[in-house]
Amino acid sequence: MLFVIDFDGTLSVGDTVDAMLERFAEPEWRAVEQQWLDGRITAIECMQTQLRMVKTDHVTLENFFRGIQLDASFLPFYRHVSQFAEVAIVSDGLDHAIKVAMKNAALPELPVYANKLHFVPDGIDISWPYRNAACQGGNGVCKCAVARDLSQGDQRVVLIGDGKSDACLAREADVVFAKSGLIRHCKANDIPHFKFQTFADVLAKVKSWPQAMPATSARRDGASA
């Protein structure tokens, strides 16, 4: 079994990238965000434009990343599932921000698949090691391709996420845990899912599974949760 865990709004309490823009970018970042929400630009175009609006120094950003608040119930969840499953953080956010936040919260060092943050004088830039032009999502990280690689097609994939960047994998995952925007996406597309607020909710559900749960049974009882 492979748990694919979103970062922003899922493992972190808020959206790290939005909070960073709020604090350090020119206010025009909001108009760019709206263009993305309206489907007029891709996630890649959106992030590239927004991150170049960030104007601050390296030390200030590192401090900001250390202050990112994480879901305190993630650690007990991780301790339980890592006994029988692999766990990866797969995020359309920024790799360095995630690693700093997790280290600061004294969480174990997990594999992180995310866009690459680059520091440039007085700001940041981004590159896309997990981009997949064939994916309809238009995201920086194609979560379905990453999950396919990691699971090698023979592990059951459990997605835990909250938003637009999770949509491409929601279609393919064996089990979906959803909150906020991802719930709406699953409902609109008839994707069975469990609702959750924190990793304590996810852990409670996972503990009710026999460890060798066949994917089909999760699909069957998933929609009503």
If one asks whether residue 9 binds Mg ion (CB under 5 A), the answer comes out as yes
Residue 137 contacts Mg ion per CB under 5 A: no
Identify the burial level of 31 via C-beta atoms within 10 angstroms of its C-beta, where 0-12 means exposed, 13-18 middle and 19 or more buried.
exposed
In the complex, what is the shortest distance from the CB of residue 169 to Zn ion, in angstroms, rounded to a whole number? 7
Spell 154-172 as b/e; 16+ CB within 10 A means b: eebbbbbbbbbbbbbbbeb
Q: Does position 8 bind Mg ion by CB under 5 A?
A: yes
Contact with Mg ion (CB under 5 A) among 6, 33, 95, 174: 6
- Which of Mg ion, Zn ion, none does residue 135 bind (CB under 5 to 8 Å by kind)? Zn ion
Among residues 86, 202, 106, the alpha carbon closest in space to that of 152 is found at 86
Q: How far is the CB of 182 from Mg ion (least distance, A)?
A: 8
Taking CB under 5 A as the binding criterion, the range among 32-40, 114-122, 154-162, 194-202 that sits at the site for Mg ion is 154-162
- Closest to Zn ion by CB, 53 vs 135, is 135
Tokens in use for 114? 């995310």
CB 191 to Mg ion: min, Å: 16
User: Which spans of this chain sit near Zn ion (rule: CB under 5 A)?
Assistant: 135, 137, 142, 144, 168
3-class state of residue 16 by DSSP: helix
CB 90 → Zn ion: shortest distance, Å?
A: 11
β-pair partners for 89? 5, 112
- The least distance separating Zn ion from the CB of residue 146, rounded to whole angstroms, comes to 8
Residue 142's binding partner out of Zn ion, Mg ion, none, with CB under 5 to 8 Å set by partner kind? Zn ion
Outline where DSSP puts E strands in the chain: 2-5, 86-94, 112-120, 123-127, 157-161, 175-178, 194-195
Residues touching Mg ion, count (CB under 5 A): 5
Q: How far is CA 183 from CA 87, 98, 112, 148, in A?
A: 22, 24, 24, 22
Report what 13 binds from Mg ion, Zn ion, none; CB cut-off 5-8 Å by kind: none
* CA pair distance 83, 206, nearest whole angstrom: 12
Residues that bind Mg ion (CB under 5 A): 6, 8-9, 162-163
